[in-house]
Structure 1
């Protein structure tokens, strides 16, 4: 720690899974900068407390649910307000929709003068009916109750303002975006000396038995919002092009969250896709591919694209919110119109015939990740932002 304590910051997210995945290094970074760090989330396993202790921070459990639940949310609001009044943080930072609304409201009631809402995505973009209306109201209130709103991508800020959820020009983006950047040493190519575990036997067998001119990898939740149906339709379109067309195959990494990929796989020719399920370390799967594909319908700023970029693997992404910020089209990867399987198939076939183009984009992607998105740079931007707010608040 350098100098006197800077202040107390409370960081609130919905679940301990989010906290464990995204916050440990950042909390430790803030603690080393002189902040007293408190983190709150729903922690049914207690893993949150272990993570906070290792990072030099404090933690507390918040009993809320991911989806809107009025009675549960009221109880969480009451308990959280009391907790914040006792802790008296200088700044409350919230992220994710539930923490954004209930957490920011509790901070407002508790009299916390600096309330920062970090916007990591708009779940309402792909919701319909009553749920979309509820989510829109929650986002509107979260932004209005905050003293500052920071989006993790330029397109997300613009989309939020275009939907009327925030005043034009009121949402900030730090640097070139991203919520926490990428560990550019952990995510790098095997040629750079990176030690990664081997592929599982089933994936190795799939790649050996089904040779192709282009191997695509998808990494993420198998959820309808991720646009996996577009990816599968593009693979089928490549296969329909007949003799002489480049052979394209895909390795799909992630657990099923409502997409049911098996039923789609049955409609495809054999040897086109391989499903791995959840894996502990995505690096060997990304490095086994020529390109990563993220055909998502919405994002905030996709971390998996940064991870692939840091490993020298270019990405093919949709032009949806968030995705469009993660690739420089034609330089670090390619973009295609959201949901357009034929356009995606055309890109796959063109890349299959251009290995030098893939190599060039991979090198550019790595350079961009190292220059603009290393974790320490993103953490420094966020810490400096908080310190600037605190300095303006104090006499």
Structure 2
């Protein structure tokens, strides 16, 4: 049996994205240690036999002194724990975890690129300044790992084109998968009026929330009774949206903000169409959960998102950053409500065939040879 260490950007990541994998590993008899910068999920992890260690790591921002401290701290933990495998997810855990794990030559390192993040999604002076540094760091991290998992082919091709990684060192996953039993198909007829649209995401610009709001404004003029909802946590991010801004939208009557939740299923059950106009993703877990529960999807024709939708079958793809196109796509479901059931059933079929979490986890475990 193997000693496996995970490093993630925040502890709820284990609950939202890696829970089925961790449970499976514990059930198989492996020793699992989970590292994260906060202890919110410590009790839940401990209850299933996972050892938790809190680490000094800031998922956002760039403070060289703190970041160097993070790497040294991670290296010390790895030396003390001597894991057989270190598995890192998201940007800073990937970059810092891989470098820290170099101190133990016998430790096998696996990295998962869950998306490109802030540096690769815009052209501000700060992003342009950081890009060469981040590319160099990725190149170093990838040199000292056994394999890198990507969640969509576009991210892999970009990294390959930039010369950051060799193709034969990579594996593409269908996201983190979705538990089809937990997110069961909703048998309720979904075409009843008034139609409810829902977007589930962190409240940041890069999720396409401004475009969603503008599309809502367009639709509300013609269809005032349509419900357009937003669910998700506020976030510390360079593109974060303030609570005051969301309150202003609510006062305007454009959307209904539902707050934050630990269980999205009741909200998905009471909705008809899932919308995510994101600028770029790894593979959005929120979309997979909506698909599993039988919702049609409206999302952008952009990396990570386009893989989840067969245009015209289980949803509609729209150009990124186009409020008008987004409103037009959403309007199709208002004018043709029969599409909701047909496309929703297709979403479930695609989720079963492509995104079953047990299939995804089987590929991860076979690649790690555990």
Q: TM-score range by the shorter chain?
A: 0.7 to 0.9
SS at match of 1:14: coil
1:363 maps to 2:357: no
Per the alignment, residue 145 of structure 1 pairs with 144
Deviation string, structure 1 residues 142-198 (Cα, Å, up to 9, x no partner): 223322111122233223334443345643113xx112x112222224438xxxxxx
Partner of 2:155: 156
Equivalent of 1:381, from 330, 353, 363? 363
Among candidates 200, 205, 209, match of residue 224 of structure 1 = 205
CA distance in 2, matches of 1:333, 1:265: 30
Which 5+ residue runs of structure 1 have no aligned equivalent? Answer: 193-210, 391-395
Asked whether the equivalents of residues 82 and 110 of structure 1 are also in contact (C-alpha less than 8 Å), the reply is: no
Q: CA deviation at 1:320?
A: 1.8
Query: Residues 55 and 271 from structure 1, CA distance in 2 versus in 1: closer, same or farther, beyond 3 angstroms?
Result: same
Contact 1:265 1:273 in 2 (8 A): no
Q: 1-side partners of 2:248 and 2:49: how far apart?
A: 50
Q: Name the counterpart of 1:256.
A: 234
1:88 to 82, 89, 93: 82
**C-alpha distance in structure 1 between counterparts of 2:244 and 2:317, whole Å:** 27
Distance in 2, Cα, partners of 1:50 & 1:253 = 25
Q: Which residue of 2 is the match for residue 172 of structure 1?
A: 171
The CA distance in 2 between the partners of 1:19 and 1:266, in whole Å, is 33
| Counterpart check, 1:309 vs 2:291 | yes
| Matching residue within 4, 9, 18 for 2:4 | 9
Structure 1 48/251 Cα, relative in aligned 2: closer, same or farther at 3 Å?
A: closer
Deviates more, 1:13-22 or 1:148-157: 13-22
Instruction: Please state how far the C-alpha of 1:351 moved relative to its aligned partner.
Output: 1.9
In structure 2, what is the Cα distance between the partners aligned to 1:371 and 1:41?
Answer: 32
Residue by residue over 1:67-117, the C-alpha shift from the partner in whole angstroms, topping out at 9 and shown as x without a partner, is 333222222322322322233222211111111111111111221352111
Partner SS, residue 62 of structure 2: coil
Is 1:246–1:352's contact at 8 Å kept on the other side of the alignment?
A: no
Equivalent positions of 1:62-141 (< 5 A) are 62-66=55-59, 67-123=61-117, 124-127=119-122, 128-141=127-140
| Partner Cα distance (2:186, 2:249) in 1 | 35
Tell me the alpha carbon deviations over residues 309-353 of structure 1, each in whole angstroms, 9 at most, x when there is no partner: 111111100112211112222122111111111211211122211
Is the partner of 1:122 in helix, strand or coil? coil
Summarize the Cα distance change of 1:339–1:248 in structure 2 as closer, same or farther, 3 Å threshold.
farther
Q: Kindly report the root-mean-square deviation, in angstroms, between the aligned alpha carbons of the 2 structures.
A: 2.6
> Where does 1:195-274 land on structure 2 (aligned, <5 Å)?
213-239=194-220, 248-257=226-235, 258-260=240-242, 263=245, 271-274=253-256
SS in structure 1 at match of 2:181? coil
- Asked if residue 33 in structure 1 is aligned to residue 28 in structure 2, the reply is yes
Tell me the CA shift for residue 213 of structure 1: 4.9
Pick which of 345-354 and 122-131 moved more: 122-131
CA–CA distance in structure 1, aligned partners of residues 283 and 108 of structure 2:
25
Instruction: Please identify the structure whose Cα radius of gyration is greater.
Output: 1
Shift of residue 237, structure 1, vs aligned partner: 2.9
Pairing 1:188–2:184 present:
yes
> Does the CA-based 8 Å contact 1:301-1:323 persist in structure 2?
yes
- 2:17 equivalent to 1:22: yes
- Which deviates the most, 71-80 or 282-291? 71-80
Question: In 2 relative to 1, CA 76–271 (structure 1 residues): closer, same or farther, beyond 3 Å?
Answer: closer
* Cα distance change, pair 326–298 in 1 and its aligned pair in 2 (3 A): same
**How far off its partner does 1:239 sit?**
4.3
Relative distance call for 1:264 and 1:97 in structure 2 (3 A) is: closer
Q: Is the 8 A contact 1:315 1:334 kept in 2?
A: yes
Alignment: residue pair count: 357
Structure 2 unmatched ranges of 5 or more: none
Aligned CA distance change for structure 1 residues 8 and 219 (closer, same or farther; 3 Å):
same
For residues 371 and 138 of structure 1, do their structure 2 counterparts lie closer, same or farther at Cα, with a shift above 3 Å needed? Answer: same
User: Contact conserved, 1:234 with 1:344, CA < 8 A, in 2?
Assistant: yes
